[in-house]
Every structure is written in C-alpha cells, then in structure tokens.
Structure 1
C-alpha cells in the first residue's frame, strides 16, 4: 500500500513537469509589425510616378506664354510632387528611377526656357519694338488715356488673328509682354471707363488667351 502511494506521487510529479516543459516550448503568437506611418507602398509610389509623368507632359506641351504666367504656381506643384517621390525613390524599379530622372530633366529644361523667353521679351528695347509692330503705333502705354485702351487692345488682338499661324515662340512672348503693359495701365484707369468699354476690354483679353491656347502644340515642340 505504501509502495503504491509513492508510485502515484512520482507519476503525478512527472506529469506536472512534462506539462510545464510543453508550455515553455509553445511559441507565442506575434503581431506583424506595421509599416511606419507615411511610408509609400510600391504600388502607390508607381502611381505617384505615373501622375508626375502625366503632369510634366502636360506642362512641357503648353504654349509657352500661357504657361509662363502660371510659372510660380506650376513650380510649387512640381516641388510638391517631386518631394513626395524623393522620399521613397529607392523603392522604385530601375525603369521607374530612369523615368523619374528623365521627367525631372525635361521639366527643368522647359522651365529654364520659359525664364529665358520671358527675360528676352521684357527687355525694354525688345518690348518697345514689339509694341510698335503689334499696335501699329508708337505709344507710351504707361501714359495712355483710358479712352485709348479699348482700341489698343483691339489692335493687338487683330494682329494676332491675322499673323498667329506664322508666329514663333518669341513672337508669342513679345505679344504677352505688350498685353502685360496694357493690363497694367488698364488696372490704373479702369474706373474712368464706362461699363460697356470695360466689358469690351474683358472680351479682348479673353480672345487673346483663346488665340494663345489655340496655337498648334506641334509647332511649339518643333521650336
């Protein structure tokens, strides 16, 4: 009887030890680590690159004078999009990195070209010469009377209507410089004009932008 009781105790102790060892060997479940907040996925980064490429293509194919007036805003948008991709550029494929570099270079060359054209068109001698040619008159726009402005706007737009097919990018830049002078003077004296004349000027400003945008993109890209 004593032997049987001792045997039972030993057996129970062995079972307890085996249970404890088994519990220690059972691996604990682990929770997968989450990606840091703000980290772009590969698929998301590729979408960003595709959007960036489409955006650059749209800008470099624009008529230069139209885009140049918007250049500060366009530059801000370029910086925003490129910073987003720069943060995770190492995650791009080899082809993706090549595409990204190509598009950045295209944009930078285009933006430099806009700056050069703008600077050339706004040199006083060049602007004065373009003004005489486009307005058919030697007039100091900064001193023009309010009543003269509707006719000056009309002359500028009329010349554009007839000659725009033969214009180079430099011609469009010169016309934009003349328009800028007219707009600056108009802002100073607009209150001296009756409503019908202000509406006429607004219509001519709108036609200028329409003619500008209608220029054949292929001609822009060939220059």
Structure 2
C-alpha cells in the first residue's frame, strides 16, 4: 500500500522521468546544461576580472595621490574655511575644542558633495591637527563634550569612507 503512494510522489517530483530516457539522452541533456553553466561562469569571471583591474587601478591612483605632499598654502586656506574662528588649532582650549569640532563638521557636511579625493586629503589633514589638539586637552574636557567630539570624529570618518566607497564603486562599475 505504501508503494503506490511513494511511486506517485516520485512521479510528481519528476524523478521517474529519467526512466523514460536512455543514458545517452540523459548524457546529452547534462552536457548542454553543463555548457550553459560554463558559459555563465566564464561571463561572471570575465566581469570579475574587469572589476578587479579597475579596482586595482583605482587603488594605484589613490596611493599615488596620497604620497603627494599637500600644498601648505592650500591646506592653510582650507583650514581657515573649515575652522573659521577656530583656525588657530594650537590655541584651542578645553572650552573651545568642542565648538571647533562642531563648526568643522558643519563645514564638511556643507561642502563634501563637491569635494574631490584631493579635497578630502586636505580635510583629513585639518581633522588630524584638530584631533591632535583634542588629545592634548582631552583630560580637561567635560565628559559630555568629549562624547560629542567622539561622535563628530566618527561622523567625519564615515563621510570620508563613504566617499571612498562611492568612488571605488564608480571605478569598477560597468560602463
């Protein structure tokens, strides 16, 4: 009694259809399907090779760019724009460091969409100077101000990384 139920389930699942063909016919079907899979795999591999080459080129260009020294005059000009009244970073105190970070991030948010990777290099240099001053006065900063500064530092890093990812995505995208 269980055998007819099992046979009907197997028939519904299509597992008995192999009994209606010869081994040679099954081999031909397998060969065609294997060829289709090979073609798909070859196409995917070709796309990956192209994307890999583009990513390597992007990485190479980024390394060359980052090795080039920043122009001190351009860095000073951008520092003055991004820090405004807090441009003299070395004179920032525990009371003024948090407003300096707030001002800096307001400027970064407002300008970031128009920036090139080189502009981000300059902004990162400004951020490093600001972070160095933060470390120098950190022990005298109120806890809530330090927490706010840490959040702003994280936001800057996220915005910068987001731009890197966007540029990398554009570099490897099929054109």
Band of TM-score, shorter chain: 0.5 to 0.7
Q: Which of 93, 114, 117 lines up with 2:66 in the alignment?
A: 114
Displacement of 1:168 in angstroms is 1.4
- Determine the structure 2 residue equivalent to 1:194: 142
Report the CA distance between 1:151 and its aligned residue.
Answer: 0.8
The answer to whether structure 1 residue 148 and structure 2 residue 96 are counterparts is yes
What are structure 1's unaligned runs of at least 5 residues? Answer: 1-49, 62-102
Unaligned runs of 5+ in 2: 1-44
Residues 212/189 of structure 1: CA separation in 2 closer, same or farther (3 Å cut): same
Check the 8 A contact 2:65/2:118 in 1, yes or no. Answer: no
Superposed CA deviations along residues 58-109 of structure 1, whole A, max 9, x for unmatched, are 9x85xxxxxxxxxxxxxxxxxxxxxxxxxxxxxxxxxxxxxxxxx5x77544
TM-score, normalised on structure 1? 0.47
How far residue 133 of structure 1 moved from its aligned partner, in angstroms, is 0.8
Distance in 1 (CA, whole Å) between partners of 2:58 and 2:107 is: 33
Q: How much does 1:176 deviate?
A: 0.5
1:208 matched residue in structure 2: 156
* Residue 124 of structure 2: aligned partner: 176
After superposing on structure 2, the runs of 4+ consecutive aligned residues of structure 1 that deviate more than 6 Å are: none
TM-score, normalised to structure 2's length?
0.59
Q: Give the structure with the larger helix fraction.
A: 2
Distance 1:197 1:165, change over 3 A: same
Q: What displacement does 1:57 show?
A: 4.9
